[in-house]
Amino acid sequence: MDKSYIFNFFFIPFINLFLWIFLKKKKNFLYLLSSVFYVLFFALTFFSLTKTEVWEVPGWINLGERFIISIALSFNQKAVFLALLNALITLLIQIYSFSYFSQKENFGFYNFLISSFSAAMSWLLLAANLFTMLLAWEMVGLVSYLLVQFWYREKDPLRAGLRVFFINKIGDLALISGLGFLISFGLGQVVFDQTIFPEGSDLFFKSINGNLIIMFLVVATFVKSAQFPFSIWLKEAMNGPTSVSALLHSATMVISGIWMLSQLEVVLSDEVKMCIVLVGGLTLLISNFAAIFSSHFKNILAFSTMAQLGLMTMGIGLSKTDGVIFHLISHAFFKSSLFLICGILMHQLEHSGFQKEESHYLPNLSGLLKKKSVLKVSLIACLAALAGWPLTSGFISKESIVPHIFGGNASVSEIIGFVFFELGALTTAFYATRLGIFLTLKDPAILPEAEKVNWKLRVPVFILSLGSGFWLFGYNPFSSFGWISQGLELEAGFVFPDIIALAIGSMGAWFFSKGNTWREIQIPFMSISIFNDFKPQIFLLKSAWKGLVFTSKKGLQVENVLLNQSLDFGSKSMVVFGHFSSFFDKRFLDGFIDFLVFIVKTLGQIFYNFTYKSPQNAALVAVALILFFVYFF
């Protein structure tokens, strides 16, 4: 088979589009076909892969010998495994969604978006050059916007979707600028051929120009991975369905920035790595404190995702890329499971008449899991992995990132990273332990109406929570060596059980959780603007927008002054020419134009009648036109 046919696999989500057209809003397990296909395909590819293979469509855009753009995918162990993980989590979330969504929801459209998102993420992970990654990067951003504002008839999701979209556009602008600079400095091979930097390029990237180019790409990864000060978009994404939050916050969208940053690690200078460590560490601490001060379950999970992304970013700055891959995998399991548990609890309270904010307000959730054995054990296991307790996968993956500074040869970056890590471990243990105690050990404050948690909700949660144990990586609870390290060719070894900060944070949470009521921690007055929806970032973005508007107005004024006379002369010339052409127009063109108007009007009426009452038909026509132009282009 021609290897270029592999690219047709990314049109598999259109199966769900046609199912949506024919099944309308009905729920049907046929919607799982695309995800099942991806799971089987990537599983077979991973276990049969013996070496890296690049599948390419050469000359996709050919504008001469000096400008040939190819679409290429690199099938290597890490990329294929992460694509498999992405497909597996997507499949489990789709199963969960069968019970999560009501019959009134547009279930077909939701599944089309979910499968499209999975395809775009797979494309991004497998991209063999930065141009292919850019295409997938943009598709991920577009579909994530549609998912966040899935409940677009409500005000908050629509506004949140726009915020997510436009904040991510900052990263897109930085990425495109960085790629343009790479091309201008003769590194177009990385953009259009393969993401393997040529020998000697590391010397260039240590220069001022090289550092500037790399910083454009690093800023793009900061935005995509929700690093400070761009973290706000990840909390805004919580306005979508909980299943969407689980998808965006686990092994999918948020890892795209981490994945790209890991690809750039080989050319990062010491100065850039120091910047990455500082940004990652600040994101870790600020997000953890925001989680401590929050009293809403879903918000705490969002802030914890930001914190874990900060930890992974910091790990890449410390050259712990293999440890970051370990943590990325473990985080995908326990964080997606936590979000799905949150969705189950919210559904129970909403079924009893609570509004959306009230449905995940922790004083209302007290003890709801006390008598639900499966969900209770799953929650405890996932929170233990989040905190990094021994015998969990989170313990192994976190300890694979922490720098060891007691050998005498530690650099400044490693010392700073170690301090950030210890403070992050203490604060994470505090809110994770406090959350577990309150949801599983306290007496219920509210007894919601009985609603059976069926298998479609419980099974995905249980399967994902299984990845919270140390067995995810191997048979030794104090070593990262195992089937994942061997299969992905990652550096592995024994991890040091550094649990002092973890124990202090957990004991603090235990003493603070006395009593049956949730004690809210008041935000210090001087810090309230930082933790109350991250207002400094909103201020900076608004200021930047005002500056852009001011610059645009001044530019228009200059343009009017410079072009006024030439435009005036041109308009008068056009009037004169119009008089000469009017005779020809009236005599020869009017009849022809009237004929074209008749044809267009007739076709327009036919198209209107076909699409007005059926959004499915409109979507089908739009997709057909896009595929037609892409194919012939």
Q: Which two tokens stand for residue 168?
A: 């991510």
Sign of CA dihedral 118, 124, 125, 128: positive
Residue 256 resides in a domain: no
Label each residue of 127-186 as H, E or C: ECCHHHHHHHHHHHHHHHHHHHCCCCCCHHHHHHHHHHHHHHHHHHHHHHHHHHHHHHCC
The pLDDT tens digits of the residues spanning 215-253 come to 888 888 888 887 887 777 777 777 777 777 777 766 566
Which phi and psi angles does 70 have, rounded to 5°? Answer: -115, 150
In this predicted structure, the answer to whether residue 420 has a pLDDT above a threshold of 60 is yes
Sign of CA dihedral 443, 448, 452, 457: negative
Nearest to 189 by CA among 201, 202, 205: 201
Mean pLDDT, the chain, as a whole number? 77
Could you tell me the pLDDT band of residue 552, with boundaries at 50, 70 and 90? very low
Residue 161 resides in a domain: no
Q: Which two tokens stand for residue 173?
A: 């602008």
In this predicted structure, the answer to whether residue 2 has a pLDDT above a threshold of 70 is no
In terms of phi and psi (left: phi > 0; alpha: psi -120 to 50; beta: otherwise), the region of 367 is: left
> What's the rounded Cα separation, in Å, for the pair 141 and 133?
12
Which phi and psi angles does 72 have, rounded to 5°? Answer: -140, 145
Q: What is the mean pLDDT of residues 330-347?
A: 86
Instruction: Give one DSSP letter per residue of 167-183, joined into a string.
Output: HHHHHHHHHHHHHHHHH
Identify which of 197-206, 328-337, 544-553 has the greatest average pLDDT.
328-337
Helices (H) and strands (E) in the chain, counts: 27, 2
The residue ranges of DSSP E strands in 335-415, in sequence order, are none
In this predicted structure, the answer to whether residue 536 has a pLDDT above a threshold of 60 is no
Report percent pLDDT > 70 for the chain: 75
Domain count, the chain: 1
Residue 494 resides in a domain: no
Would you say 145 and 157 are in contact if contact means Cβ atoms under 8 Å apart? no
**pLDDT at position 278:** 92
> What's the rounded Cα separation, in Å, for the pair 435 and 451?
23
Would you say 143 and 219 are in contact if contact means Cβ atoms under 8 Å apart? no
> What's the rounded Cα separation, in Å, for the pair 46 and 197?
25
The pLDDT tens digits of the residues spanning 457-511 come to 888 888 888 988 888 888 888 888 888 888 888 888 888 777 888 888 888 888 8
Q: What is the mean pLDDT of residues 288-315?
A: 87
**pLDDT at position 474:** 83
**pLDDT at position 525:** 43
Q: What is the mean pLDDT of residues 42-48?
A: 88
| 75 bridge partner residues | 53
In terms of phi and psi (left: phi > 0; alpha: psi -120 to 50; beta: otherwise), the region of 533 is: left
Helices 455-466, 77-100: inter-axial angle, 10-degree rounding: 150
In this predicted structure, the answer to whether residue 171 has a pLDDT above a threshold of 70 is yes
Residue 272 resides in a domain: no
In this predicted structure, the answer to whether residue 121 has a pLDDT above a threshold of 60 is yes
Residue 607 CB partners (closer than 8 Å, separation 6+): 621
Q: What is the mean pLDDT of residues 440-462?
A: 73
Nearest to 366 by CA among 312, 468, 441, 288: 441
- Identify the weakest region by mean pLDDT among 287-301, 373-387, 441-455: 441-455
Element at 301 (helix H, strand E)? helix 297-317
Residue 572 resides in a domain: yes
In this predicted structure, the answer to whether residue 533 has a pLDDT above a threshold of 70 is no
Could you tell me the pLDDT band of residue 45, with boundaries at 50, 70 and 90? confident
Q: Which residue has the higher pLDDT, 255 or 553?
A: 255
> What's the rounded Cα separation, in Å, for the pair 501 and 505?
6
Identify which of 176-180, 346-350, 427-431 has the greatest average pLDDT.
427-431
| 479 bridge partner residues | 494
> What's the rounded Cα separation, in Å, for the pair 265 and 269?
9
Q: Which 3 state secondary structure label does DSSP give 475?
A: coil
Distances, alpha carbon 604 to alpha carbons 306, 537, 627, in Å: 49, 46, 21
- Identify the weakest region by mean pLDDT among 40-44, 191-195, 372-376, 396-400: 191-195
> What's the rounded Cα separation, in Å, for the pair 499 and 426?
9
Nearest to 177 by CA among 208, 215, 141, 143: 215
Residue 63 resides in a domain: no
Residue 360 CB partners (closer than 8 Å, separation 6+): 296, 297, 298, 299, 342, 345, 346, 349
Would you say 529 and 535 are in contact if contact means Cβ atoms under 8 Å apart? yes
Would you say 417 and 401 are in contact if contact means Cβ atoms under 8 Å apart? no
Q: What is the mean pLDDT of residues 421-445?
A: 85
- Identify the weakest region by mean pLDDT among 71-80, 485-494, 552-561, 611-620: 552-561
Q: What is the span of the domain harbouring residue 568?
A: 538-632
Cis ω before 198 (30° cut-off from 0) = no
- Identify the weakest region by mean pLDDT among 212-216, 336-340, 450-454, 620-624: 450-454
In this predicted structure, the answer to whether residue 563 has a pLDDT above a threshold of 50 is no
**pLDDT at position 538:** 57
Residue 622 resides in a domain: yes
**pLDDT at position 556:** 45
Report percent pLDDT > 90 for the chain: 1
Q: Which residue has the higher pLDDT, 450 or 104?
A: 104
Residue 586 resides in a domain: yes
User: How would you classify the pairing of strands 68-75 and 53-62?
Assistant: antiparallel
In this predicted structure, the answer to whether residue 286 has a pLDDT above a threshold of 70 is yes
The pLDDT tens digits of the residues spanning 583-629 come to 555 655 566 666 666 776 776 676 666 666 566 666 676 677 677 66
